Amino acid sequence: MKENNKCREGGYNCVVCIKQVPDTKKVTGEAMKADGTINRAALPAIFNPEDRNALEAALSVKERYGGTVTAIAMGLPAACEILREALMCGADKAYLVTDRKAAGSDTLATSYILSCAVKRFKPDLVFCGRQAIDGDTAQTGPQIAEKLDYAAVTYLEKIDMDGDYAVVTRDIGTGVETDKVKLPALFTVTEKAGELRPFNVRRVMKYKDAELKGVAEAEAAGDGAAVIGQLSCDDIGAVTERCGFAGSPTNVAKIVSVVLAGGDYKEVPPTDEGIAGLVAELVADHTIG
Amino acid sequence: MSENLNRGEVWVFAEQEDGKLSDVPRELLGKGRELADTLGVKLAAVLMGDKVECLAKELFEAGADKVHLVEDSELKVFRGKAYRHAFVELIKECQPQIVIFGATHMGRDLAPAVASALGCGLTADCTDLQIGDYTDKKCACQGGEPKVVKNVLQQIRPAFGGNIIATIVNPYNWPQMATVREGVMKPLEVVPGRTGELVKHDSKLAGVEIPVEVLEIVRRHSSINLKGSRIIVAGGAGVGSKENFKLLHDLADALGGAVGGSRAAVDLGYCEHERQIGQTGVTVRPALFISCGISGAVQHLAGMQDSAKIIAINTDKDAPIFKVAHYGIVGDLNVVIPKMIKAIKG
């Protein structure tokens, strides 16, 4: 049932920006190389967790008010995996921005490239995950919004539509806030917005082998075709100087692996005497008491 | 992109809500003081809001040489676009060389938008900031000498889920911007009566459309104050149940401390989200941290390893938590904690 009284004709065009990331929670001994750096290849590549919440927010807007959902990812062709997942969950269209010129992009360059891609679809609503678990910066979403001059709302927990406005609840750290936001707008979404729905069985059959095709060919295949459109920087009008290393002001000067090191370590036996001795020591050096 | 202006002031964003400053601006001023003194420039706080001039005094007493004040009724509550617009105009006018923000919800909303508008670099969630030289080896690759850029802001942060520590620099774009994790930088001692220069600026918001209207704010009134506690007792998945967590409260009560938890303990519903310690929770460094049934994932260690003394209680003698602990007790916390309480009360 659509919420007709709040609908507008044609519903809302939604774009969701998603990222394939290494599963940083699974960094174990095997994933560390001898020199202490991380072997990214040894980590499973996953659909960034909060981007799943962002996709769910978009799908729920479409379900309740009508419209379309377009998923966009930037990365290597392997990222088609998460775009297929998005299609299987209910996204109408999927696009991959993949280009050598984009290599080495920091958040400023990434947000520039994604803003060029998003612009192509003239969306009413853009959803991004709050942050990706490989960089944890939470910068790309607000920077895309700034470049498009869209209203930006971070830490989204809930969204309802009302004509040309969205009424949203967001976490402000010290509490929650309700905002009325004029479209077009971009939202960065937290896990509170809801878990991504499971795959739809019929869509799995249809989209599990969706192939990456040049954007012209993909779009000629028509609505609902099992294809992922490939976009280059030229296709979206992203100028070379603002992409990749050239468009990235930040430089990584140094990387060190985390080495766990405590101070002097003392093992205390779990006995009455052992623990009484420890407490006495802490009292003596004024840590407690 | 903005050009290299390696001379201006060091700025910190003094965020306020409901006309009150949180601890964050004081923490930023502590680090900012060090950076400004190293560079030999002034340390300034940027204060925005509606009728907030009275807060300038607190900022001077916390270490600011100067306060840049922007007052406008449009800035009464935080709204990204209004704050961004006013902040960008202020940076263009005054040309600071460094701008730091707290990595709070507000800072992480505002800083990226300001950096995007100025086309400058921004590093998120730094755990340390230093001034140093940067040797750019890219020039050497093109046949020239490596180029050395002096007095660059070195932005140090954990990345990749806390498994690596990266040093990021933005040597060619000004201002250099970073957000800083809450609770990591030390505030200075407050100097009552210390004053400085107050500079008032126009918000330049006339005619700017703000597409967001704040309808309602509901503040969480939490009595949990981990950052302010000298002693913290924290539990993880190994505590086993919400009921067992009560034991941690008993120990904390005996010591006059607070109770925290790892992400696992929060996810399992053993304790409230406000108690979460680690990369996605709060960072603490109490005088004493008693870790109970926490294995010690790097994300958790990032939020507590700077505690002055760490006691780890865990049944697994190989748990990583023992690597950062000063005292280790290999044993069942249900046995060990009552013994501790007895020893403290005895």
Question: Using alpha carbons only, what angle is made at residue A283 by residues A280 and A287, rounded to the nearest 5 degrees?
Answer: 135
Residue A88 has pLDDT above 60, yes or no: yes
**CB-based contact B215 A143, cutoff 8 Å:** no
Q: Within 10 A of B323 (CB to CB), how many other CB atoms are there?
A: 17
pLDDT at B137: 77
Q: pLDDT at position B3, please? A: 47
pLDDT at B1: 39
Chain B residue closest in CA terms to A182:
B211
Q: Are A159 and A140 in contact (CB under 8 A)?
A: no
Query: Is pLDDT at A164 greater than 90 in this prediction?
Result: yes
Q: Measure the CA–CA gap between B329 and B318, rounded to whole angstroms.
A: 12
Q: Where are the CATH 3.40.50.620 domain residues in chain B?
A: 10-201
Q: Which fold has domain B231-345?
A: Rossmann fold (3.40.50)
Residue A92 has pLDDT above 50, yes or no: yes
Chain-chain contact of A266 with B78 (C-beta, under 8 angstroms):
no
- In the structure, how many helices (H) and strands (E) does chain B have? 10, 18
- In a domain, residue A252? The reply is no
Residues 288-307 (B) with a CB less than 8 A from some CB of A: 288, 296, 298-299, 301, 305
Interchain pair B162, A264: CB under 8 A: no
The size of the A-B interface in CB pairs under 8 A is 240
Examine residue A287 and state whether it is found in any structural domain, yes or no: no
Report the residue from A147, A154, A265 with minimal CB separation from B116. A147
CATH of the domain at A158: 3.40.50.620
Chain B: residue whose CA lies nearest to A283? B344
Q: Parallel, antiparallel, or unpaired: how do β-strands B16-17 and B20-21 relate?
A: antiparallel
Cross-chain Cβ contact B113/A152 below 8 Å: yes
Q: Are B2 and B119 in contact (CB under 8 A)?
A: yes
Query: How far is A15 from B103, CA to CA, in rounded Å?
Result: 27
Of A37, A185, A262, the CB nearest to B324: A262
Both tokens of residue A188? 């960065």
Interface of A with B in 158-217 (CB under 8 A): 167, 171-182, 185
Cβ–Cβ under 8 Å, residues B36 and B10: yes
Contact between B105 and A252 using a beta-carbon 8 Å cutoff: no
pLDDT of residue A262: 52
How far apart, in whole angstroms, are the C-alpha atoms of residue A169 and residue A175?
10
ipTM value = 0.89
Selected residue of A148, A158, A243, A258 to mutate for chain B interface (largest B Cβ count, 10 A): A258
The interface residues of chain A toward chain B in range 29-68, judged by CB-CB distance below 8 A, are 32, 37-38
Domain with CATH 3.40.50.1220 in chain B: 231-345
| Between residues B138 and A169, the one the model is more confident about | A169
Q: Over 80: is that where the pLDDT of A39 sits?
A: no
Residue ranges of B 108-167 with Cβ closer than 8 A to chain A? 108-109, 111-113, 115-117, 119-125, 134, 136, 154, 158-167
B320: chain A residues, CB-CB within 8 Å? 260
Given a cut of 50, is residue A101 above it in pLDDT? yes
Closest-approach residue (CA) in chain A for B1 = A249
Domain count, chain A: 1
Question: Buried b / exposed e across A55-67, counting CB within 10 Å, b at 16+?
Answer: bbbbbbbbbbbbb
Across A41-58, average pLDDT: 93
CB contact under 8 A, A24 and B279: no
- Option in A22, A172, A274 nearest B105 (CB): A172
Chain B residues with CB-CB distance to A177 below 8 A: 214, 216-218
CB-CB neighbors (< 8 A) of B17 in chain A: 174
Q: For residues A9 and A7, what is the distance between their CA atoms, to the nearest angstrom?
A: 7
Q: How far is A244 from chain B (nearest CA, A)?
A: 13
Using 70 as the pLDDT threshold, list the residues of chain B that sit under it. 1-6, 139-144
Contact B319, B295 (CB under 8 A): yes
* A269 occurs within a structural domain: no
Q: To the nearest whole angstrom, how far is the Cα of A45 from the nearest Cα of chain B?
A: 13
Pick the CATH number of B10-201 from 3.40.50.620, 3.40.50.11290, 1.10.620.20, 3.10.180.10: 3.40.50.620
Q: Contact B124/A260, CB-based, under 8 Å?
A: no
Strands of the sheet containing B231-235, edge to edge, are A266-267, B327-330, B309-314, B288-292, B231-235, B258-261
Q: Which one of B255, B299, B336 has the shortest CB-CB distance to A288?
A: B255
User: What is this structure's pTM?
Assistant: 0.86
pLDDT at A3 over 70: no
∠ CA A193-A189-A124, rounded to 5°:
105
Domain that holds residue A15: 4-247
Q: Are B124 and A111 in contact (CB under 8 A)?
A: no
Distance CA B324, CA A261 (A): 5
**Distance of residue B174 Cα from the nearest chain A Cα, in angstroms:** 9
Mean of per-residue pLDDT scores for chain A: 91
Q: Which of A284 and B288 is assigned the larger pLDDT?
A: B288
Task: Say if A260 falls within a structural domain.
Answer: no
Tell me, yes or no, if B326 comes closer than 8 A to chain A by beta carbon.
Answer: yes
Q: Do A178 and B154 touch (CB under 8 A)?
A: no
* B40 DSSP 8-state letter: T
Do residues A7 and A66 touch, judged by C-beta distance below 8 A?
A: yes
Kindly determine whether residue B329 and residue A251, on different chains, have CB atoms separated by under 8 Å.
Answer: no
**Cβ-defined contact of B80 to A134 (cutoff 8 Å):** no
- List CB contacts of B343: < 8 A, sequence separation 6 or more: A272, A275, A276, A278, A279, A280
Per-residue pLDDT reduced to its tens digit, B96-108: 999 999 999 999 9
